[in-house]
Amino acid sequence: MEGKTRTTLVLLAAGMGSRYGGVKQIDGVGPNGEAIIDYSIYDAIRVGFTDLCFVVRKEIEDDVREFFAGKFPDSIGVNFAVQSLDDLPDGLPVPAERAKPWGTAHAVYAARTVVDTPFAVVNADDFYGRNAYKTLQAYLAALTASETDYAMVGYRLDETLSEHGTVSRGICGKDADGFLESITEHKKIARKGNQIVDTLDDGSEVVLQPDDVTSMNMFGFTPAVFGQIEREFSDFVTKNADDPKSEFYIPTLMTQLIGRSEAQMRVLSTTAQWFGMTYREDKEAVRSRILSFVESGSYPERLWGE
């Protein structure tokens, strides 16, 4: 796109939503059947993203393609990348007991054949807010394709919980200059009285703080990350061949790269509020919030025209 810095929004839409059930990425919550992902894309286009890449699994690719057919302006580049179990580096074989793909970093790796610009990564079923997209796009637009100064958008922990069950969240540590030092995964977080606690596998509890900086899987990268993923993923698959449930997450990748000073990640703040559908029971609350945005004029009643 001549005259405009190209940036891509990579939407992770391969997961089937095991806690939720069904293809929640395209479950309608807007006045005309719009999904959360529609509002994410609308926000991204509004703030300057020029390209889209949907990372899907083969089983749902046709559904996702059909859902978005004809929606976007002709000026927006649209690509699809398939996350598949056998997409492994170095000709590595798929372990015999493995039944599903390898997690979020593996999903990003799938986009390597179609993404050649600085890019944002988001979950397809999460609402991040326009300010978050604006903040991240401005950061990405200033990068070259070879830089390894990555970014993430952090949210307050207490604004990312569900009333209908536990959630898994990555709690971030950052240094005095605002760069990520660590992401610690907490897998069973819920409110308990006036506290927020994570219940560990042995039944013990860790108390977390409401304002803990939380990763909601909104990251910014350049194409330089694809080579880094390939190297780290090859090592991960080799070491975890006997664990059919092991997953190669973005935080796992970044912990390794930061530890070796091969990349850094700026933690960006946002005034936006996250919400999403971890459980099917979350859907009505999401519908209500979307409707309130439409009624306030933040979004048109029909996002993509007649």
Q: What confidence score (pLDDT) does residue 259 get?
A: 92
- Residue 63 CA to residue 255 CA, distance in Å, equals 35
Higher per-residue confidence, 34 vs 19: 34
Contact 102, 75 (CB under 8 A): no
Average pLDDT (76-89) is: 93
pLDDT digits (tens, 9 = 90+) for 201-259: 899 999 999 999 999 999 999 999 999 999 999 999 999 888 888 999 999 899 999 99
Instruction: Residue 117: name the closest of 12, 232, 1 by CA.
Output: 1
Q: What is the pLDDT of residues 35-66, one digit of tens each?
A: 999 999 999 999 999 999 999 988 888 888 88
What phi, psi does 253 have (nearest 5°)? -60, -50
Q: Which of 24, 284, 278, 277 is nearest to 167 (CA)?
A: 278
pTM attached to this predicted model: 0.91
Whether the per-residue pLDDT at 185 is higher than 80: the answer is yes
User: Bridge-partner residues for 180, per DSSP?
Assistant: 174
> Which domains, and CATH codes, for the chain?
8-296 (3.90.550.10)
What string of DSSP letters covers 34-101? --HHHHHHHHHHHHT--EEEEEE-HHHHHHHHHHHTT-S-TTSEEEEEE--TT--GGGPPPPTT--S-
pLDDT of residue 279: 75
Extract the tokens encoding 233: 């993923």
Quick one: pLDDT at residue 18?
A: 42
Instruction: Please state the rounded mean pLDDT for residues 13-40.
Output: 73
Please give the Cα distance from 187 to 173 (Å, whole number).
17
Residue type at 139 in one-letter notation = Y
142 has pLDDT over 70: yes
So what's the pLDDT on residue 15?
64
Looking at residue 294, what is its pLDDT?
Answer: 95
Average pLDDT, the chain: 90
Q: What pLDDT, on the 0 to 100 scale, is given for residue 23? A: 56
Instruction: Give the bridge partners for 123, in sequence order.
Output: 12
pLDDT tens per residue, range 105-134: 999 999 999 999 999 999 988 999 999 999
